[in-house]
Amino acid sequence: MASFDSKTISHIHHELHSLLPSEPALRTRALESLLAEKKLIDPATVDAWIEMYRDEIGPKRGAAVVARAWVDPAFKARLLADATQAIGEFGFAGHATGHLQAVENTADVHNLVVCTLCSCYPFSILGLSPSWYKSNEYRARAVRDPRGVLAEFGVELDEGTQVRVWDSTSERRYLVLPERPKGVKEWSEAALAKLVTRNSMIGTERDLSPARAKA
């Protein structure tokens, strides 16, 4: 007769369900399938829009903003003073960036962005938010143990480096302005933009050196 171990069964049940998409994601997929079946939407068009937001609209837009701030001190000052107005110079302003604040990484300060209540995110300049940004674990631990979270992303900070955690809301969203890496003094703005990553503008990446980009 087979034995029954309630703890083992509970563990298996938890593991299986942890692999499932979230309930909103499942509902979205079901709705998309229904609309496609009724020929109200074209799945290829939906995929094209997703790819455009992921690869073209963002994070390349955010990277362009960061690169401009690296080479233009006047623009950097405007960005830090009023990020919404500054990115408007690129034509990037939108609903998701209507209350945008830029926070600057320095040698002594590292900034990390989270949204503890939901997943507010400036998608119009960063593209689609990564799945981990929306996870309960990240939203809870980024506030409680930011250094531990950063270490898991490969960001090792000196004890003297201050970590500032910024909690996004529908009324305020954040863009991290990474430090300009060393050894790129003569690089063009376009070349610098290629070094900037989505994660660096969230704060889960710090080293943007060319050597690391090639690794």
Query: Which residues carry out catalysis?
Result: 115, 118-120
Which pair of tokens denotes residue 117? 């209540």
C-beta separation of 59 from 45 below 8 A = no
First vs last Cα of the chain: how many Å apart? Answer: 55
Residue 162 contacts residue 70 (beta carbons within 8 Å): no
How many CA atoms within 13 Å lie on the side-chain side of 90?
24
Q: Is 176 exposed, middle or buried (0-12, 13-18, 19+ CB in 10 A)?
A: buried
- Tell me how far the alpha carbon of residue 207 is from its chain's centroid: 16
